Structure 1
Amino acid sequence: MNNSGVRSAVRVIRLDEFVPKQAVMLPERAVDELEPEWSSLPSLAWPEPIGSARPRTPVLPDPVEDDGLDPVLEEGAPTVPTSTAFETSAAASSAPGKMPRLPNGVVTSWPLRFQGEPLGYARLWLRNLLLILLTAGLYLPWARVRSQRYLMRHTKVAGHVLDYHEPPGNLLPRYALSAALMLGVTGAWAGGSTLAGMLALSLALAVWPLLVFMSLTHRMAHLSWAHRRLAFDGTCQQVYRAMWAPLFGGGAVAWLLMAAVIVRSPGNWVAWGAALGLWVLAMPAFVWTWYVFRQRHLRLGPLHLLWKASKPAVMMMFLRTLVWAMLATVFSLGVAAVVLAGVLVMRGKLNLTIERGLLLASALAVCAAVQPYAQARLQNLVWNKSGNRYLRFRSKLSVADFVMLQSKHALLLVLTLGLYWPWAVIATRRMRAQSLTIWSRVDADVLKAHWPTYEAPATGKMAGSPANL
């Protein structure tokens, strides 16, 4: 128990992960400077706190109300890595559109902690793999749910673990639709008909947003923190509007490529090259549009997030990834050339198998270096610009360390014929999770008090409790 001077007005409970420090005043000037950036999210009407006469039912934001948002934290703002439970009076919390904040500009930081162990996950992974093989893939939804539950239940935020509640049977329609599309496209192309293959590919692109909508909705609805469900409240039509441009552009590029291959006219190749170039140049705008939509429709109880990254920031991420891909390609081809020279010196000749093997190894090396680079850059960009007036996310994932880790994993996976996979998953999860921190202007207990727990309709028991898992 903290013996501070405000003990008579505030009851403080220290969580096991946090070290209490002296409260820091948030500079008034910084608050004024940050107001314009985070002022476009609709205001929230919060319910009465626990113990009041009114029922604890969240009130969703009215989209036609004025903003009136307070700023959220920016880089360099003072933080206090503590978590405290403040008793707020009903009068203070009954103000419409306001949630009780920590006093005196205090900011708490909630670091993510991943506590999974490689051996425990390896046993689960091996069991899932054997059952998938024995059932010819039918056990895949159950394996997916078990893996996600293990990873979530070993991730802790502000003293509470995450959890995953989705019944495996709910995954069957999505998995069946994905398998049908994949088999349909593959079968159409294998049948020798180019037109049938292109039609099947176009159908798959048209159905893809539906799969994305189903995945986001089901995953977020069954993900919880402290027995409180998260949600994705976007509609299927909104997902189609957010994704139609890149999918339509990709389909147009594919059809132009088919026309160029069949007709073999220089004009067709020029048209295909121009369409491909425009599609690639527009990709940063596509990515920006998608993340603005996705982050804005992620809901933490009655709280909505907001993504404030700019299009130039996304463009810079793509340019850096492109430069890194070029450097990785040059390095891989240089290593392959050295190996070829060594083979020529030792054997005096080359065959097609060696050349193809070296080219494949070079391509895999480039992927092993470029994919983690893009993942680290994207994670930092997405979460450093996500938040609202109460919460803000911070990601400090080291790009160099993450690329080195994934390169080591790729090498060990090749050497162990894939048996190193559980250790790679745990190490990757730990680095990505523990690079994230949540900055908050409200206490964790206050947030929980205004975020009702989920209760199963039939039994009335909490869906996150062990009896319902």
Structure 2
Amino acid sequence: MKPLTGLDTSSPDMGNAGAPLAPAQDSSYQTDATHQLRVEFTGSGSEYFRIWIVNLLLLMVTLGIYYPWAKVRRLRYFYGNTVVGGEPLGFHANPVKLLKGYFLVGVLFSLYSAAGKFSATAGFVAFLIVAALWPALLKSSMQFRMANTSWRGLRFGFRGSLAGAYRAVLPLFVPGMVILAALTQVADPEKPPLWYLKTLGVVLLVFVAVAPWLFWNLKQYQHNHYALASLQTTFKATLGSFYKLFFKILGIALLPLLLSGGAIGAMFYAMKAGGMQGRPSAGLIVILGLLPLAVMMALLVMVKPYAVARFQDLVWTRTGNTSLRFVSRLRFGALLWLTLKNWLLVILTLGLYWPFAAVALARLRLEAVTVKTRVSPDTLLSHVGAVEGDAAGEAGGDLFGLDIGF
């Protein structure tokens, strides 16, 4: 989803596609008046196409070294066209700092890959080192991105602690630790024993069972610590709400499978009841072969837009406090239609519609969000403060595919 939106939106929430204005904790800011700040996106596909094509060409010419500059150009465009309460956001990151960060994380990634090829034990030790460093990289990444994001000249901040980062991130690595630890006891990885396969199955089942908790735990750390001057966010979504949504998504994913299974069973029953003998016809074989493909397409088309829309609404509508709150109303039908349209046009244009799709998706997700506050925006101008984090954290989030979010 990252390349499609032009923003870092790998997670279903509005992390980098929403206005990161922080709710107030300080009651001295509160007033009787309610201010409603609309979020608008003013970018156009044709404008972003020029940025996108230049970035693509320079990435190829420089063999990827230009990536930090390409990323900064992209984010400056999307942030600069995200208007909150009539004022655009700003993005101020230094590409050189990002380049240093990417180089550092690239070295770590190379060492991990080399260790995994050397032996299972070396790979396990390297994985433990990555797991030990990753929470600090996440915290630094959050600080770096927020400190380089502004609204009306004010820089945002992230106040999560290092201990909180470890509590939020380390559980994500536990399944990998168990699998790699078990692998160190396998003599021939190409012919794993039955006990190892059973271990993989148990780990997979446990991971599926606790996945909503893992996601909620991470989002709680992120959304409890966004800040603007002395104001800070709180996150009020419950663990139960994450499990409830998870089961809804699972039900939608299983429905096409059940329908296809029922259709296949009905076909065979009709064949048997009609007394059909011998091999089935070529047309029936084609239908039975295409049916699973149609089911997979239905899963891809329906499940992801539903998950994105519902998680965005859940995460951001539950971010706020007595002074300020977000309201997200991203409609599943609108997102599904836009997804179908984007896929079709990207395929028909051999990828050239990609930047137009990114702009359309960003506009839909952004403009579904409204900020309601009892704090006058003018009051915030006298409260400035943000601490810039380490760019290596930002690089880590991109290279390993971790959803940093905002």
TM-score class, shorter-chain normalisation, is: 0.7 to 0.9
Conserved? CA contact 1:250–1:279, under 8 Å: no
Match of 1:292 among 207, 216, 220: 220
The alpha-carbon distance between structure 1 residues 242 and 358, as it changes in their structure 2 partners (threshold 3 A), is same
The amino acid across from 2:383 in the alignment is W
In structure 2, the residue matched to 1:452 is 384
How far apart are 1:157 and its partner, in Å?
0.9
Match of 2:211 among 259, 283, 298: 283
Match of 1:413 among 338, 346, 365: 346
The alpha-carbon distance between structure 1 residues 401 and 99, as it changes in their structure 2 partners (threshold 3 A), is same
Higher mean displacement: 310-319 or 244-253: 244-253
In structure 2, the residue matched to 1:99 is 29
Match of 2:375 among 433, 442, 446: 442
Conserved? CA contact 2:260–2:292, under 8 Å: no
Describe the SS at the equivalent of 1:306.
coil
Please show how residues 4-403 of structure 1 align to structure 2 within 5 Å: 44=26, 98-102=28-32, 106-188=33-115, 191=117, 193-256=119-182, 262=189, 264-327=192-255, 345=282, 366-403=299-336
The amino acid across from 1:236 in the alignment is L
Per-residue CA distance 1:384-430 (angstroms, 9 max, x = gap): 10112211100000123213322332333333332221011101100
The whole-number CA distance in structure 2 between the counterparts of 1:208 and 1:423 is 34
Per-residue CA distance 1:328-360 (angstroms, 9 max, x = gap): 556799999xxxxxxx838x99xxxxx9x9989
The alpha-carbon distance between structure 1 residues 227 and 328, as it changes in their structure 2 partners (threshold 3 A), is farther
Describe the SS at the equivalent of 2:64.
coil
The alpha-carbon distance between structure 1 residues 202 and 334, as it changes in their structure 2 partners (threshold 3 A), is farther
Conserved? CA contact 1:369–1:407, under 8 Å: no
The amino acid across from 2:308 in the alignment is Q
The whole-number CA distance in structure 2 between the counterparts of 1:376 and 1:412 is 22
Higher mean displacement: 389-398 or 320-329: 320-329
How many residue pairs are counted as aligned between the two chains?
348
Higher mean displacement: 216-225 or 288-297: 288-297
Larger Rg: 1
The amino acid across from 1:285 in the alignment is W
The whole-number CA distance in structure 1 between the counterparts of 2:84 and 2:50 is 25
Conserved? CA contact 2:25–2:233, under 8 Å: no
* Greater helix proportion: 2
Structure 2 gaps of 5+ residues are 1-22, 265-280, 389-406
The alpha-carbon distance between structure 1 residues 255 and 453, as it changes in their structure 2 partners (threshold 3 A), is closer
The whole-number CA distance in structure 1 between the counterparts of 2:161 and 2:204 is 30
How far apart are 1:174 and its partner, in Å?
2.7
Describe the SS at the equivalent of 1:229.
strand
The CA RMSD over aligned residues, in Å, is 3.6
Tell me which of the two structures has the higher relative contact order, counting C-alpha pairs closer than 8 angstroms and 6 or more residues apart.
2
In structure 1, the residue matched to 2:273 is none
The alpha-carbon distance between structure 1 residues 194 and 267, as it changes in their structure 2 partners (threshold 3 A), is closer
Conserved? CA contact 2:257–2:295, under 8 Å: yes
How far apart are 1:241 and its partner, in Å?
2.2
In structure 1, the residue matched to 2:402 is none
Match of 1:429 among 348, 362, 365: 362
The whole-number CA distance in structure 2 between the counterparts of 1:212 and 1:400 is 34
The alpha-carbon distance between structure 1 residues 332 and 222, as it changes in their structure 2 partners (threshold 3 A), is farther
TM-score, normalised to structure 1, is 0.65
The alpha-carbon distance between structure 1 residues 420 and 204, as it changes in their structure 2 partners (threshold 3 A), is farther
How far apart are 1:136 and its partner, in Å?
0.7
TM-score, normalised to structure 2, is 0.75
Conserved? CA contact 2:40–2:84, under 8 Å: yes
Higher mean displacement: 129-138 or 248-257: 248-257
Structure 1 gaps of 5+ residues are 1-40, 45-96, 337-343, 350-354, 457-469
Conserved? CA contact 2:224–2:232, under 8 Å: yes
Describe the SS at the equivalent of 1:425.
helix
Aligned residues with identical type, % of pairs? 32
